[in-house]
Amino acid sequence: MSQTSAATATGSAAQAEALLQTFARAGYTHARPPILQPAESFLDLSGEDIRKSLYLTTDATGEELCLRPDLTIPVAREYLASQRAGAPAGFYYLGPVFRFRGGTASEFNQAGVESFGRQDRAAADAEMLALGVEAAAAFGVASVDIRTGDVALFAALIDALDLYPVWKRRLIKDFNRKISLAQDLQRLTLETGKTRNEYEGVLAALAGSDRKAALALVTDLMSIAGTSNVGGRTVSEIADRFLEQSTLKGGALPRDALQLIERFLGIAGEPDDAAGQLRTLASDAKLDLNAAIDQFESRTGFMAARGIDTKTIRFSTAFGRGLDYYTGFEFELHAKGNSTEPLVGGGRYDGLLTRLGAREPIPAVGFSIWIEALSQGSAA
Name the residue type at position 224: I
Q: Is 315 in contact with 141 (CB distance < 8 Å)?
A: no
- CA-to-CA dists, residue 195 to 165, 182, 200, 244, angstroms: 19, 21, 7, 10
Residue with the bigger pLDDT between 150 and 4: it is 150
- Where is 209: in which H helix or E strand? none
All residues at 6 or more sequence positions from 280 whose CB lies less than 8 Å from its CB, including other chains:
none
How many angstroms separate the CA atoms of 320 and 179, rounded?
10
Q: Which of 111-115, 216-220, 325-329 has the lowest mean pLDDT?
A: 216-220
Residue 231 has pLDDT above 90, yes or no: no
Q: What share of the chain is helix, strand, coil (3-state, %, to 5)?
A: 50, 20, 30
Q: Is 118 in contact with 363 (CB distance < 8 Å)?
A: yes
Res 236: pLDDT: 64
The mean predicted confidence, pLDDT, of the chain is 83
The CATH superfamily holding the domain 3-156+262-379 is Bira Bifunctional Protein; Domain 2 (3.30.930.10)
- pLDDT category at 192 given cuts 50, 70, 90 is very low
Res 16: pLDDT: 85
Residue 18 has pLDDT above 80, yes or no: yes
The residue extents of the domains of the chain are: 3-156+262-379, 192-251
How many angstroms separate the CA atoms of 129 and 329, rounded?
10
Res 5: pLDDT: 39
Give the residues across from 108 on adjacent strands: 97
Q: Is 193 in contact with 207 (CB distance < 8 Å)?
A: no
DSSP character string of 9-71: HHHHHHHHHHHHHHHHHTTPEE----SEEEHHHHHHHH-GGGGGGS-EEE-TT--EEEE-S-S
Q: Is 332 in contact with 344 (CB distance < 8 Å)?
A: yes
Res 32: pLDDT: 96
Interval 31-62: pLDDT, tens: 999 999 999 989 888 766 788 999 999 999 99
Q: Is 89 in contact with 79 (CB distance < 8 Å)?
A: yes
Interval 60-90: pLDDT, tens: 999 999 999 999 999 999 999 999 999 999 9
Interval 111-164: pLDDT, tens: 999 999 999 999 999 999 999 999 999 888 888 999 999 999 999 999 999 887
How many angstroms separate the CA atoms of 155 and 139, rounded?
36
How many angstroms separate the CA atoms of 272 and 293, rounded?
11
Count Cβ atoms within 10 A of the Cβ of residue 156 and give its class: 0-12 exposed, 13-18 middle, 19 or more buried: buried
Scored b (16 or more CB within 10 A) or e, 105-125 reads eeeebbbbbbbbbbeebbbbb
Q: What is the arithmetic mean of pLDDT over 337-366?
A: 91
Residue 176 has pLDDT above 60, yes or no: yes
Residue 182 has pLDDT above 80, yes or no: no
- CA-to-CA dists, residue 364 to 84, 122, 291, 339, 348, angstroms: 14, 12, 19, 27, 6
Res 247: pLDDT: 56
Residue with the bigger pLDDT between 295 and 209: it is 295
Res 2: pLDDT: 37
Q: Please state, for a pLDDT cut of 90, what percent of the chain lies above it.
A: 56
Interval 264-322: pLDDT, tens: 999 999 999 999 999 999 999 999 999 999 999 999 999 999 999 999 999 999 998 87
Report the candidate in 138, 171, 167, 166 with the shortest Cα–Cα distance to residue 154: 171
Residue 195 has pLDDT above 50, yes or no: no
